[in-house]
Amino acid sequence: MGAQSIESISEFLLHAGTNFQVIDMGRGLVPLSAQTFLDIENAAMTVPRPRQEHAWFGVVFWNTQDQPSKEYIWFLKLPVDEQGLLVTAARNHFLQIIVDALGNSLAQDTEQADKLPDNPYNFVPPQSLMAHFNAMTKHLLNKPAVSGTKEVASYIRHPAVVDWQTLSLQAIADIAHQLEQEQLSQALTQQFDMYAEDFQQALLSALDNTTLPPPLQQFLLERLEQQWPQHRNKTVLLAMLRAVNTPETAASVQAVLKLVLNSEHTDIDTLSVVAARHFNQLDDALLLAFFEKAAWLDAQQHYQGALFQGFFADLVRLPDLRTRALTLLRTPERSEILASAIGALFSATRS
């Protein structure tokens, strides 16, 4: 199998005798169908969740002949052009690298899959993201959870009895995919304040990549409404804000975002969470509020336009926001600070 005979990463994996699952890692963890990944690869559709002008993917694959199968992972970061499309030249370069390194060896010896040469397209996720990724892949592939999840469930039910410091980060990530169990989810909402703050943060971070049961979603939204004005524990509040993200537009989430974006406590970290996890909730009013806050923080903290321009460059590359972000540049409904930030953006673009 040569580089000239294959035209996509998907085709390489299929020709090599593997099954695979792709997870979009740009903004949270979102499973992709094989066809969607192929369309993204071939620039037939825009990258749905780019970050830092790149598409980020975790590609899990396994040899269909192995029983039991062992999974292998490539973490890929591929550049996105100004129109939001994957740069196919970079994809082709990665293909050339893996074909030169592996040929068709995946069909006979999957062990070689983890021995790619150094290349500019691989990345290493941080430990917490790796735990969340492992939990999601096990959930998607119907693999058993890591040992230790029973202890996490016991702590959720009986926080005064179990020592939370004995719980592993991977077990906490795995239990996040089991909260559809009504009793477990109910125990979480009833005893949340009894948990150690480090455990609260770890579990909320894992919930970021799951679909929350409606009662738990409502509980966290109400907590945000109650506690954001006091802002006593920023780390837990930000983890909570990430956890309530949802792919569908939700009035309850938008109400919390309105509160957050108009709060004196909202800082760069908060805007980063909103941009990364709630971009799909930003209607015209919330998008304006977001950029107003970004412009205000930019001026207050003397970033000389860099903060506002960074957030604008990030959001304008998202397919769902591109048109409205560009339209906002000319809206008359803006403060002097936002008008000044937009003027600096135009000046930077022309220079």
> What would the 3-class secondary structure string for 154-219 be?
HHHHCCCCCCHHHCCHHHHHHHHHHCCCHHHHHHHHHHHHHCCHHHHHHHHHHHCCCCCCHHHHHH
18: which residues sit within 8 A by CB, 6+ positions away? 61, 62, 63, 64, 106, 110
Which has the higher per-residue pLDDT, 191 or 115?
191
Q: What is the pLDDT of residues 62-89, one digit of tens each?
A: 887 766 678 899 999 999 998 889 999 9
CA distance 193 to 237: 13
Give the residues across from 73 on adjacent strands. 60
Rounded average pLDDT over 313-337: 91
Q: What is the pLDDT of residues 32-72, one digit of tens each?
A: 999 999 999 999 999 999 999 999 999 999 887 766 678 89
**Chain mean pLDDT for the chain:** 91
Averaged over 140-168, what is the pLDDT? 94
pLDDT value of position 180 = 80
Chain-centroid distance of CA 12 in Å reads 26
286 with 257: CB under 8 angstroms? yes
Of 231-235, 285-289, 332-336, the range with the highest mean pLDDT is 285-289
Q: Which comes out higher in pLDDT, residue 232 or 196?
A: 196
308: left (phi over 0), alpha (psi -120 to 50) or beta: alpha
**Which amino acid, one-letter code, is at 100?**
D
**267-323 pLDDT, tens digit each:** 999 999 999 999 999 999 999 999 999 999 999 999 999 999 999 999 998 998 999
- As a whole number, mean pLDDT of residues 15-20 equals 87
Which pLDDT score is estimated for 116? 78
Looking at residue 181, its pLDDT comes to 76
Of residues 207, 34, 220, the one with CA closest to residue 136: 207
Q: Is the pLDDT of residue 3 over 70?
A: no
Average pLDDT over residues 86-95: 96
% of the chain residues with pLDDT over 90: 79
Q: What is the pLDDT of residue 182?
A: 76
pLDDT at residue 134 tops 90: yes
The greatest distance separating any two alpha carbons of the chain, rounded to the nearest whole angstrom, comes to 65
* Backbone angles phi and psi of 128, in degrees to 5: -65, -40
Query: According to the model, what pLDDT value does residue 105 have?
Result: 53
